[in-house]
């Protein structure tokens, strides 16, 4: 079904710990919105995200990848952020400019602490914005 795109593009960051499935989620989002007809796989090296030679070689995200999709008249630009701590500044930079963030994590209690590098700076940003 064709929908007329209305309003501004929503920019959404996809963030979370290393190898939690962010790039796979982006691929699924692009697939369900009909943006791509064939869903790729990180291991097969055929995803829309992780398209740089280094990312393909390491089978991990090494930079932010952007992809746009439309769903029911709304246009989204997704920013798939790397989860490895060595690239965490890329994630922080992306979070400054987005409307929303999807936090991807494994549903395992022991791995909760892997979210700490993400939440601490977010809380700091929030606190600074709400200073009297
Ligand atoms: N079984 C299963 N495997 C998954 C799922 N999501 C991702 N994977 C696999 O987990 C591995 C890592 O997935 P990615 O999507 O690259 O994870 P990521 O969070 O983008 O990784 P980084 O960006 O490097 O932090 C890949 O081999 C995926 O095929 C899932 O929902 N189920
Ligand atoms: Mg990734």
- State if residue 49 touches ligand 1 by the CB under 6 angstroms criterion: no
Average pLDDT rounded to a whole number, residues 104-116: 89
| pLDDT value of residue 111 | 85
* Residue 19 clears pLDDT 90, i.e. is over it: yes
Residue 19 is given by DSSP the state T
pLDDT at 132 over 80: no
CATH no. for 8-129: 3.40.50.300
For residue 55, the CA-to-ligand 2 centroid distance in Å is: 9
Q: Is pLDDT at 125 greater than 70 in this prediction? A: no
Residue matched to tokens 């892997």: 114
Model confidence at 16: pLDDT above 80: yes
Structural contact between residues 71 and 12, judged by C-beta atoms closer than 8 angstroms: no
Taking residues 103-110, report their average pLDDT. 91
Do residues 39 and 2 lie in contact, with contact meaning Cβ atoms separated by under 8 Å? no
Instruction: Examine the pLDDT at 126 and tell me if it is beyond 80.
Output: no
Would you state the structure tokens that stand for residue 109, as one six-digit string?
């209690």
Comparing C-alpha atoms, which of 55, 90, 94, 54 is closest to residue 78? 94
Answer whether 65 contacts ligand 1 (Cβ < 6 A).
Answer: no
Element (H, E) at 53: helix 53-58
Which three-class secondary structure state does DSSP give residue 23? helix
Strand order in the sheet with 65-71: 65-71, 74-80, 10-15, 100-103
CA distance 104 to 22: 6
Task: Give the number of the atom of ligand 1 that is nearest the alpha carbon of residue 17.
Answer: 25
């Amino acid at each position: 079904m064709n929908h007329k795109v209305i309003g501004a593009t929503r920019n959404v960051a996809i963030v979370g710990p290393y190898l939690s499935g962010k790039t796979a989620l982006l691929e699924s989002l692009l697939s369900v919105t009909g943006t791509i007809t064939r869903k790729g796989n990180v291991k097969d090296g055929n995803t829309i995200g992780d398209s740089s030679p280094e990312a393909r070689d390491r089978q991990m995200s090494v930079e932010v990848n952007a992809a746009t999709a439309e769903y029911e008249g709304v246009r989204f630009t997704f920013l798939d952020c790397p989860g490895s701590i060595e690239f965490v500044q890329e994630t922080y930079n992306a979070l400054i400019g987005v409307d929303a963030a999807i936090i991807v994590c494994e549903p395992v209690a022991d791995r909760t602490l892997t979210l700490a590098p993400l939440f601490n700076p977010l809380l700091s940003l929030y606190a600074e914005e709400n200073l009297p």
